[in-house]
């Protein structure tokens, strides 16, 4: 028990250290701030005018998808941060200390929740300005934000493993595109999944990014009345299905990345 | 004196490369072992294994009474490491770096802070202490990294090439600091490519090459293994260096090495001292070879290394490591 508390303490020390970097290198924040604004405006005005969803404002429909996509992309920070620590060699300092073996990664995934919270805030404000509204009450909206952050947190563990495996920060960025683009586009993020052809539709329906998006839309009240109930089980129970993924991802990737961290050799 | 570090038969291979090939070593309490070898000899691998960063393929070791394989956590509690490349966080200040390490040693908030300030003072970093490390010079980073190794005042210290890449002044500063540390009773394993550094800092020197020990002893012992003296002759005209070499060959007891600008200085191993020197100079004069400088001296560690490994310390000992 005391060891567990001490490990949490180690994680917090690492998280604090990562957050100091945001203060010292504010340029990193610029990316976090600009790209969500860009996404919201781009999708709202470029696609929003072209795609028509019957009985609804496409902009309202889009916001859930943009939120989900942006926070999944946010996990790239986790991978890049760990890859940088490896490259700079400070990992060797951490590994030679009698600290918890999971704390460096846990601290990183924790501090990246702050990044994601900032970008969600910015996106919400931008969304609000272009006409997006919360139609289902504040408590449900808060639940939506919490679910988004939780999913982002879990996904950070995936990119943590990537960050510890690749030789440099640039590779993390490329690798994340390969993983994240299909995940966020073969989904209901920007178009309803029932319009997709066969296999893509199945993928989209079982894709956790779709369930986060669906849950977010439901909780924000962004699904227009009269929209037919989705056929797929995950989209019928999006909150539950998302939470299952959160647990599964952490259960698999936390041990894998910790193992990788223990063996990491610098070269 | 009991051995604080003891390793037997350490082996490690990376694919084709055998980084360590059955290395044994022992460091007695309160002494300094200098692990001396050229680039690629296996120094960093040995330090990484003994500090639990890398698992050996074979062999056993105890560090400060803890078994390396079975109690790696205990080992980490009792050691301090300053690796070959300074492991400091560029974005944090010097103070924040040390404070963070203290917290990760689980020292508690206040003690960690106090220790950080104390170390900044001791390593002459007080003024820079609240600036991000990004702004530090190489020597300052190195000192901060060394301070990081000392945060928990561990009884055993590992320093991997602590002065490589530093200017002579920073190098000297570090020598003073390291000598002080040892004066306080720390046990230290230090690696270096510099023979004068090992000579200066280490009680005992272990020369390694290709992952194997090739000689061990005090600096004097190792010089003794080489024996004899050296004549160093610098010829006046560089185009006469080759001719001088053949004239001097009959006096040499080993290979004649050359260095200096355009290899105009020849190092000739001899036995017999001054009389041999006189004969050698006469021979050069007889062939009309102009001599600009000449010296008779005892072998240095550089010569020893050359004699022991067949190549000099600057030459590649296998793979380059950076
Ligand atoms: N992580 C690694 N992967 C592959 N080869 C390595 C690795 N680390 C060291 N080596 C190789 O092992 C040998 C010993 O390296 P090292 O211990 O770094 O030597 P030194 O510190 O004495 O320069 C070298 O040939 C080096 O190239
Ligand atoms: Mg090395």
Query: Domain range holding B283?
Result: 228-298
Query: What does R_g of chain A's alpha carbons equal in angstroms?
Result: 19
Burial of B118 (0-12, 13-18, 19+ CB in 10 A): middle
* Claim to verify: residue B134 and residue B64 sit in the same structural domain: yes
The two three-digit tokens of residue B268, written as one number = 């000739």
Q: Considering B223, B255, B272, which residue would you say is the last residue of a domain?
A: B223
Residue of A nearest to B82 (CA): A93
* Claim to verify: residue B140 and residue B241 sit in the same structural domain: no
B18 lines ligand 1 (CB under 6 A): no
User: Could you report the per-residue pLDDT of A223-255, keeping only the tens digit for each?
Assistant: 877 778 888 999 999 999 999 999 999 999 999
**CA B43 to ligand 1 center in whole angstroms:** 8
Nearest CA to CA, how far is B211 from chain A (Å)? 18
B132 within a domain of the structure (yes/no): yes
Atom of ligand 1 nearest to the CA of B37: 22
Mutate to test the interface with B, among A3, A96, A107 (most CBs of B within 10 A): A96
B247 within a domain of the structure (yes/no): yes
Count of positions (residues) in chain A: 267
**pLDDT-based confidence at residue B261 (cuts at 50, 70, 90):** confident
User: Cβ of A98 and B77 within 8 Å?
Assistant: yes
Chain B contact present for A262, CB below 8 A: no
* Claim to verify: residue B185 and residue B263 sit in the same structural domain: no
What percent of chain B stands above pLDDT 70?
A: 96
The count of C-alpha atoms lying within 13 angstroms of the C-alpha of A145, restricted to the half-sphere facing its C-beta, is: 17
User: Could you report the per-residue pLDDT of B101-142, keeping only the tens digit for each?
Assistant: 999 999 999 999 999 999 999 999 999 999 999 999 989 999
Contacts of A240 (CB under 8 A, 6+ apart): none
Q: Which of A17-21, A23-27, A58-62 has the highest mean pLDDT?
A: A17-21
Nearest C-alpha to atom 25 of ligand 1 is from which residue?
Answer: B319
Residue of A nearest to B132 (CA): A24
**CA B303 to ligand 1 center in whole angstroms:** 25
User: Could you report the per-residue pLDDT of A40-95, keeping only the tens digit for each?
Assistant: 888 878 876 666 655 557 778 888 999 999 999 889 889 999 999 998 889 999 99
Q: In what order do the strands lie in the sheet with B58-63?
A: B17-28, B3-14, B58-63, B66-67
B308 within a domain of the structure (yes/no): no
* Claim to verify: residue B92 and residue B214 sit in the same structural domain: yes
Ligand lying closest to the C-alpha of residue B14: 1
B84 within a domain of the structure (yes/no): yes
* Claim to verify: residue B189 and residue B118 sit in the same structural domain: yes
Query: Domain range holding A14?
Result: 2-264
Q: Which of A6, A20, A90 sits opposite B106 (nearest CB)?
A: A6
User: Could you report the per-residue pLDDT of A87-117, keeping only the tens digit for each?
Assistant: 888 999 999 999 999 999 999 999 999 989 9
A14-18, A52-56, A158-162, B154-158: which range is least confident on average?
A52-56
B304 within a domain of the structure (yes/no): no
The two three-digit tokens of residue B116, written as one number = 């950080």
**CA B275 to ligand 1 center in whole angstroms:** 46
Contacts of B146 (CB under 8 A, 6+ apart): B82, B123, B159, B162, B174, B177
* Per-residue H/E/C for chain B: CCEEEEEEEEEEEECCEEEEEEEEEEEECCCEEEEECCCCCCHHHHHHHHCCCCCCCEEEEEECCEECCCCHHHHHHHEEEECCCCCCCCCCEHHHHHHHHHHHCCCCHHHHHHHHHHHHHHCCCCCCCCCEHHHCCHHHHHHHHHHHHHCCCCCEEEEECCCCCCCHHHHHHHHHHHHHHHHCCCEEEEEECCHHHHHHHCCEEEEEECCEEEEEECHHHHHHHHCCEEEEEEECCHHHHHHHHHHHHHHCCCCCEEECHHHCEEEEEECCCHHHHHHHHHHHHHCCCCEEEEEEECCCHHHHHHHHHCCCCCCCCCCCCC
CATH number at residue B77: 3.40.50.300
Domain count, chain A: 1
Cβ-based contacts under 8 A for chains A and B: 70
Chain A contact present for B252, CB below 8 A: no
Q: Which of A24, A93, A263 sits opposite B87 (nearest CB)?
A: A93
CATH number at residue B282: 3.30.70.1150
Cα B159 to the center of its chain, rounded Å: 9
User: Cβ of B104 and A24 within 8 Å?
Assistant: no
B125 within a domain of the structure (yes/no): yes
* Per-residue H/E/C for B37-62: CCCCCCHHHHHHHHCCCCCCCEEEEE
Q: Considering B223, B249, B276, which residue would you say is the last residue of a domain?
A: B223
Chain A contact present for B64, CB below 8 A: no
B305 within a domain of the structure (yes/no): no
CB B182 within 8 A of CB B32: yes
Nearest C-alpha to atom 16 of ligand 1 is from which residue?
Answer: B42
* Top mutation candidate among B21, B319, B320, B322 for ligand 1, by most atoms within 8 Å of CB: B319
Domain count, chain B: 2
**pLDDT-based confidence at residue B314 (cuts at 50, 70, 90):** low
Atom of ligand 1 nearest to the CA of B42: 17
CB A160 within 8 A of CB A152: no
* Claim to verify: residue B130 and residue B198 sit in the same structural domain: yes
User: Is the model's pLDDT at B315 over the cut of 70?
Assistant: no
| B148 CB neighbour count, 10 Å cutoff | 29
CA A148/CA A143 separation, integer angstroms: 9
B309 within a domain of the structure (yes/no): no
What is residue B313's predicted lDDT score, i.e. its pLDDT?
A: 57
Q: What is the ipTM of this complex?
A: 0.88
The count of C-alpha atoms lying within 13 angstroms of the C-alpha of B289, restricted to the half-sphere facing its C-beta, is: 24
Q: Which of B146, B181, B174 is nearest to B31 (CA)?
A: B181
Mean pLDDT of chain A: 89
Query: What does R_g of chain B's alpha carbons equal in angstroms?
Result: 23
- Backbone angle region of B216, left / alpha / beta, with phi > 0 → left and psi within -120 to 50 → alpha: beta
> Which residues in chain A are contacts of B94 at CB distance < 8 A?
none
């Amino acid at each position: 028990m005391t060891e567990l508390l001490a490990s949490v303490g180690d994680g917090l020390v690492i998280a604090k250290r990562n957050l100091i970097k945001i203060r010292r290198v504010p340029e990193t924040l610029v990316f976090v701030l600009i790209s969500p604004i860009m996404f919201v405006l781009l999708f709202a005005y470029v696609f929003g005018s072209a795609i028509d969803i019957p009985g609804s404002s496409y902009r309202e429909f889009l916001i859930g998808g943009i939120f989900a996509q942006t926070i999944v992309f946010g996990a790239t920070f986790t991978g890049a941060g760990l890859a940088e620590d490896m490259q700079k060699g400070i990992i060797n300092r951490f590994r030679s200390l009698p600290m918890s073996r999971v704390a460096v990664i846990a601290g990183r995934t924790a501090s990246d929740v702050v990044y994601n919270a900032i970008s969600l805030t910015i996106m919400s404000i931008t969304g609000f300005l272009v006409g997006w509204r919360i139609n289902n009450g504040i408590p449900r909206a808060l639940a939506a934000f919490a679910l988004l952050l939780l999913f982002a947190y879990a996904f950070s563990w995936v990119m943590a493993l990537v960050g510890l495996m690749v030789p440099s920060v640039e590779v993390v960025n490329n690798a994340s595109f390969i993983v994240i683009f299909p995940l966020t586009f073969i989904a209901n993020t920007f178009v309803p999944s029932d319009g997709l052809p066969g296999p893509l539709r199945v993928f989209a329906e079982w894709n956790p990014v779709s369930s986060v998006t669906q849950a977010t839309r439901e909780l924000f009240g962004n699904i227009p009345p009269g929209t037919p109930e989705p056929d797929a089980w995950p989209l019928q129970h999006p909150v539950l299905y998302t939470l299952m993924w959160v647990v599964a991802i952490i259960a698999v990737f936390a041990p894998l990345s910790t193992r990788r961290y223990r063996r990491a050799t610098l070269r | 004196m009991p051995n604080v570090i003891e390793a037997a038969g350490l082996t490690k291979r990376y694919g084709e490369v055998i980084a360590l090939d059955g290395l044994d070593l022992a460091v007695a309490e309160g002494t300094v072992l200098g692990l001396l070898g050229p680039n690629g000899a296996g120094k960093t691998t040995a330090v990484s294994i003994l500090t639990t960063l890398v698992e050996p393929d074979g062999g056993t070791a105890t560090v400060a009474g803890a078994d390396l394989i079975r109690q790696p956590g205990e080992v980490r509690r009792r050691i301090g490491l300053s690796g070959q490349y300074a492991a400091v966080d560029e974005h944090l200040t010097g103070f924040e770096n040390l404070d963070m390490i203290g917290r990760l040693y689980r020292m508690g908030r206040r003690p960690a802070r106090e220790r950080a300030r104390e170390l900044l003072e001791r390593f002459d970093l007080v003024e820079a202490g609240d600036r991000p490390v990004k702004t530090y010079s190489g020597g300052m980073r190195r000192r901060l990294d060394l301070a990081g190794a000392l945060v928990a005042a561990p009884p055993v210290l590992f320093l991997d090439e602590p002065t490589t890449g530093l200017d002579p002044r920073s190098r000297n500063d570090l020598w003073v600091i390291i000598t002080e540390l040892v004066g306080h009773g720390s046990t230290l394993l230090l690696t270096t490519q510099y023979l004068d550094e090992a000579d200066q800092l280490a009680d005992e020197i272990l020369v390694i090459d290709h992952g194997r020990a090739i000689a061990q002893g005090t600096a004097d012992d190792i010089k003794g293994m080489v024996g004899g003296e050296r004549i160093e002759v610098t010829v006046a005209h560089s185009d006469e260096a080759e001719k001088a070499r053949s004239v001097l060959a009959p006096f040499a007891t080993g290979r004649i090495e050359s260095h200096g600008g355009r290899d105009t200085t020849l190092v000739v191993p001899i036995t017999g001292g001054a009389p041999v020197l006189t004969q050698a100079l006469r021979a050069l004069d007889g062939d009309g070879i102009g001599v600009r400088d000449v010296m008779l001296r005892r072998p240095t560690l550089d010569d020893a290394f050359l004699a022991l490994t067949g190549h000099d310390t600057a030459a590649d000992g296998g793979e380059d490591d950076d």
